[in-house]
C-alpha cells in the first residue's frame, strides 16, 4: 500500500516540476527518489523533534523537509536550488492539505 502512496506523491511532484520547467517531466526514478527523500526527511525530523518541540517540531520538520527536498530535486532534476525548494515547498503544502482532508473525511 505504501508504494501506491509513493507513486501518487511522485506523480504530484512530477507535475509540479513539469509545470515549473514548462513541460519537461523528469524521469520516474528521479521523481520517486525525490518524493521518498522529501517525505523521509520530513517524517524523520518530525519524529525526532516531537518529544522536544511538540507542534513547533512539525512546522520545523516541514521547513527542513522542503530544504532537503529542494536539494534532492536540484541535484537530480538539474533545477536551481531556489526553484527546486519552491517545488518541494508546494509539494509539502499539498501533502499537508491532503492529509488534513483525509483526517477530516474519516473523523466522526
pLDDT tens for 74-108 read 999 888 889 998 998 898 888 889 888 988 998 86
pLDDT tens for 31-87 read 999 888 888 888 888 888 877 777 777 788 888 888 888 899 999 988 888 999 899
Q: Determine the pLDDT at residue 58.
A: 77
Q: What is the DSSP string of the chain?
A: -HHHHHHHHHHHHHHHHHHHTTS-PPPHHHHHHHHHHHHHHHHHHHHHHHHHHTHHHHHHHHHHHHHHHHHHHHHHH---HHHHHHHHHHHHHHHHHHHHHHHHHH--
Whether pTM > 0.85 for this model: the answer is no
Amino acid at each position: 500500500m505504501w508504494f501506491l502512496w509513493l507513486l501518487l506523491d511522485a506523480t504530484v511532484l512530477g507535475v509540479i516540476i513539469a509545470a515549473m520547467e514548462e513541460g519537461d517531466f523528469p524521469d520516474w526514478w528521479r521523481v520517486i527518489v525525490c518524493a521518498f527523500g522529501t517525505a523521509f526527511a520530513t517524517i524523520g525530523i518530525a519524529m525526532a523533534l516531537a518529544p522536544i518541540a511538540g507542534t513547533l517540531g512539525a512546522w520545523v520538520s516541514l521547513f527542513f523537509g522542503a530544504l532537503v527536498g529542494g536539494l534532492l530535486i536540484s541535484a537530480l532534476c538539474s533545477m536551481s536550488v531556489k526553484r527546486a525548494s519552491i517545488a518541494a515547498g508546494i509539494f509539502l503544502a499539498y501533502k499537508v492539505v491532503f492529509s488534513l482532508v483525509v483526517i477530516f473525511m474519516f473523523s466522526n
